[in-house]
Amino acid sequence: MSNPQTLPQYFLQRVQTYGVSKIALRQKEFGIWREFSWQDSYENVRDFALGLIVLGVQRGDKVCTIGDNDRQYLWGYLGLLAVGATQVGIYTDAISEEVAYIAAHSDSTFALAKDQEQCDKLLEIREQLPHMKRVIYWDEKGLWHYDDPWLISFAEVQALGRELAQSEPERFDTEVWLGNEGDTAVLCYTSGTTGLPKGAMLSHHNLMTSAELFHEVDPRYDTDNHVSLLPLGWIGEHALGIAPHCYTGMIINFPEEPETVRENVREIAPEGILYNSRLWESLVGMVQVSIKESTWLNRKLFDWFLPVGYRVADKKFGHENASTALQLAYKLGDLAVFAPLRDKMGLSRIRTAYTAGAALSPDVMRFFHALGINLKQVYGSTEVTGGLTMHRNGDIKFASVGKPVPGTAVKIHPDTGEIMLAGPVVFQGYYKNPEATADALWADEDGNQWFRTGDAGYVDDDGHLIYLDRVKDMITLANGERFSPQFVEGRLKFSPYIRDVMAVGGSNRDFATALIVMDFGNVGNWAERRGLGYTTFIDLSQKPEVYALISQAVAEVNESLPVNGRVQRYVLMHKEFDADEAEMTRSRKLRRGVLYDKYADIIEAMYDGSDVINVKATVRYQDGSESSVETSVTIATLEKKGE
């Protein structure tokens, strides 16, 4: 067998090594974890891949995939790669228009769609997909009475493959070994915060090199468990889930339902996990709220030992040794508080936890390290196969995103301060968009290709990359003070009562303001414990008591900011920011341009001295009905301190 270059070739090596003797994956169904060996996976991948050949899939074809992470998704993913096709991931909650754009732009000839919901989206936009030949589904519930030859089940495709395997038993392995490292494995569409998404082309070499380089920094073992919970429309699950599965043989575990992810993570207790920053922030809120709702003794224990955890974490990151007394105190705190909390979060066996996506607040990083969770920041983008810099054990700085992984490099543009990245994980370019590719890639005098991130940052004296914000989002106030909206937003979201924030400023503004979205669940629980009645999101958000609660959180964050860059006024929004309304991406990044335009009246009111502004809002009731109402939104002013 030759040296492997592609994901399916590495997969075949693992099958040859483990066969029926080792578990490749688990999936929870009907309350039971079902286990599948590497041989089981091999047979399912082989049958699906050969079935695609029977259906007419050609090398170089694009196959879009949409559905919850589960074993059929994995087998379909590896199967289409095995016959030389390219996977095009679409977010499960994408609306029909988004599905139509990606499926059409990618020229997808086939679709792999989980269930009736996803098939209905594709049927709705069928006329917009001239290249689409068939839609393959794997969950038949609700589809039994559909009579459309455009649809075919996963099981039927595998049955076609088994017939081909009987007549050509070597065909599958032959197809796999026709692949090479330069083939495009994945077409991963970017979030598109400033326009239509672009399809980043990632090769097998990109993916497997990323797995190899991460393995050098944080080894993964074939006994490790990975919980597949991040959407395959995002690069994270490709780079830290499927590629390492094929590279190291680690076990992939699929949750029963999206709603049971946290419970299933706790049952598996993985050694490594990747959450985006929003999930880590929500876990902080969960811990804080659960402690506040706990017994008097548990609250006291948490209050006693959390400062101990912070002191130990600070010693570690300052490269100092904790005293014997401090170590003993931490062991007691770990026994009484930290270990039970880690267990509740499913992190009892965690060796390395990662955060990626939007920058994570230093407060959140420090909090988890105090609890004994080895949380590391990963920085990169789809265009560099996920991550290119990361923290190392014993060398973590809360304000940084770590150092480049082996074989890669970071440089800062001398004129713009833009972060540029280079290495074998840099993508092949944007599909059907040479202009955007040319703008994104810059070749130096030695011929090295650098990806221009569009992010502002700098490298400190220890070689750590410090990420500030998007270059275009860095704001200079009229007083000359520069500030990073993302930094302010990250600090504010450390509060369990704040779900989303958009910080606002500009060259014609004398101070910073913010649009704040409360966390409805946590604020609702807080209100109910105090006997504060409310009917809807709007009603609760405009309670004076809630404004006082949020004002306290904003004031605390202001203490850590330069005087001239502090948030002086804010509004509690009457609704949540919504991806379906294009206010944020599916990975929960703010679409600032959309928000600025949509809420221009509110923003202007924060600067013209108004105390209240009238807005139109849509109210959604528990029965699913909606109505449009006009309501008043209060504009809060904070006391100026520190001047």
Contact 519, 549 (CB under 8 A): no
Q: CA-CA-CA-CA torsion for 156, 158, 160, 162, nearest 10 degrees?
A: -140
148 backbone dihedrals φ, ψ, rounded to 5°: -140, 115
Other C-beta atoms within 10 Å of 499: how many? 23
Q: How far apart are CA 262 and CA 115, in angstroms?
A: 23
N-terminal to C-terminal alpha carbon distance within the chain? 71
pLDDT reported for residue 460: 85
Contact 186, 64 (CB under 8 A): no
Contact 628, 549 (CB under 8 A): no
pLDDT digits (tens, 9 = 90+) for 371-384: 999 999 999 999 99
Residue ranges and CATH numbers for the domains of the chain are 7-16+26-180+219-267 (3.40.50.12780), 276-348+351-470 (3.40.50.12780), 474-637 (3.30.300.30)
Residues forming beta bridges with residue 201, ordered by sequence position: 187, 429
Segments of the chain scoring below 50 in pLDDT: 642-643
Residues forming beta bridges with residue 554, ordered by sequence position: none
| The total number of residues written for the chain in this structure | 643
Cβ-based neighbours of 323, under 8 Å, separated by 6 or more: none
Q: What pTM was estimated for this model as a whole?
A: 0.78
Q: How far apart are CA 299 and CA 305, in angstroms?
A: 10
* Three-class secondary structure of residue 69 per DSSP: coil
Place of tokens 């207790």: 269
Which H helix or E strand runs over 631? strand 626-637
* Three-class secondary structure of residue 22 per DSSP: coil
Structure tokens at 210: 């990323």
Q: How far apart are CA 29 and CA 33, in angstroms?
A: 6
Q: How far apart are CA 420 and CA 536, in angstroms?
A: 46
E strands, 269-400, in order: 272-276, 352-356, 375-381, 386-390
Q: How far apart are CA 135 and CA 63, in angstroms?
A: 10
- For residue 621, the one-letter residue type is Y
pLDDT reported for residue 75: 98
pLDDT digits (tens, 9 = 90+) for 546-576: 999 999 989 988 886 767 678 999 999 999 9
Q: How far apart are CA 477 and CA 565, in angstroms?
A: 8
pLDDT reported for residue 643: 47
Cβ-based neighbours of 432, under 8 Å, separated by 6 or more: 105, 199
pLDDT reported for residue 621: 53
